[in-house]
Amino acid sequence: MRVLRDRAETIAADNERTAALVKQATKSGEPALRVWTPHQHVAFGRRDARTEGYDRARRYAERHGYPAIEREVGGRAVAFTGSTIAVVHAMPDADRTAIQSRYERASDRLRDALTSLGVDAREGEPDRSFCPGTHSLQAGGKLAGLAQRVHQSVALTSAVVLVRDHDAVAEVLGPVYDELGVPFDPDTVGSVARAGGPTDPERVCDALVDAFSA
Amino acid sequence: MSFDIPEDCRYLASHEWAREEDGTVRIGISDFAQDELGDVVFVELPDEGEELDREDDFGVIESIKAVSDIYAPLAGTVTATNDVLLDDPELVNDDPYGEGWMIELDPEESLDHLLSPDEYADQIE
């Protein structure tokens, strides 16, 4: 499996790097994994972009130092602080209808990584969490969420893992979710550090690469 | 679990259906596909007039589980889109072969290359 760890110079270049990795995985048939800490930004979902308050939400995020982008995978807005980890696992020739089994595998790997860091995470999330979904991990708040994008020839499983900065994430997402009209309780934001794990994103990245490569 | 597979449709292996109706071809996703995706929350469709080749992705469907591309079962020009889905995407779950249809094409080819209902049933068994 090809593994990529570094961050590109800009948010746009970073997105291009992921797209190139996925394209290469599709072409070669070799699975690929990217684990990194993206630049600070807020990634909005497609549904967010259709809400009445979307422009206001974008402006709020950008005024507070979080450039706004729209992301390809599903779900609602997610904030990356610079220490937040993104995971993209590209599986070529994947069965388009194996959504649940891919979630289960990815969730197990995430939990394995967190366990190796001393964090006892369990499935699920508190009510009114950010990017609410059915495949999240929590430990003193939501600290990781999973999503999938399914193409004809490749399936992408993506994860967001909050290492620290849970207060900063709550601070920016509170007003953003208000503008989007999506219920959100800032107290539900967790992190690896808040759950007693390390504060160094590199340590968490190492554990994630090990778990997803196993 | 059994899924509805209407006899008057033909199917693409990626779970889209196509049905000839008065010279046009109506397209959507199958009952199996909507069940696999779960509750659909967002649908993005192409513009009328867009020309599609066979198996081009023509739209995106987002459910509570995943975002998935939707593929054209045959080549043709988009003549209509079901814009009701923009506000009521759950129609894809409720009535995938009826009110949950997605686009209509002026076809450039027949449906002969697509799976028959029996062949599609074998695929999803």
Q: Give percent above pLDDT 90 in chain A.
A: 87
Q: What's the token pair of residue A154? A: 């490749």
pLDDT tens for B63-122 read 988 899 999 999 999 999 999 999 999 999 999 999 999 999 999 999 999 999 999 999
For each of the domains in chain A, give its residue range(s) and CATH number, in order of start.
2-213 (3.30.930.10)
Residues 6+ apart with CB under 8 A from A101: none
pLDDT tens for A33-50 read 999 999 999 999 988 998
Structure confidence at residue B125 (pLDDT)? 82
For each of the domains in chain B, give its residue range(s) and CATH number, in order of start.
10-108 (2.40.50.100)
Structure confidence at residue A194 (pLDDT)? 96
What residues are paired with A86 via a beta bridge? A36, A160
Q: Kindly list the residues from chain A whose CB atom is less than 8 angstroms away from the CB atom of residue B33.
A: 97
| Predicted confidence band of residue A19 (pLDDT cuts 50, 70, 90) | very high
Q: Kindly list the residues from chain B whose CB atom is less than 8 angstroms away from the CB atom of residue A152.
A: 14, 55, 57, 69, 71
Q: Give percent above pLDDT 70 in chain A.
A: 99
Is residue A96 pLDDT above 80, yes or no? no
Residue B2 CB-density burial (10 A; 0-12 exposed, 13-18 middle, 19+ buried): exposed
pLDDT tens for A101-149 read 899 999 999 999 999 999 999 999 999 999 998 899 999 999 999 999 9
- Answer whether A137 touches B (CB < 8 Å): no
* CA distance linking residue A10 with residue A208, whole number of Å: 23
Pairing label, strands A32-36, A2-4: parallel
| Predicted confidence band of residue A14 (pLDDT cuts 50, 70, 90) | very high
- Answer whether A49 touches B (CB < 8 Å): no
CB contact under 8 A, B65 and A100: yes
Amino acid at A122: R
Is residue B1 pLDDT above 80, yes or no? no
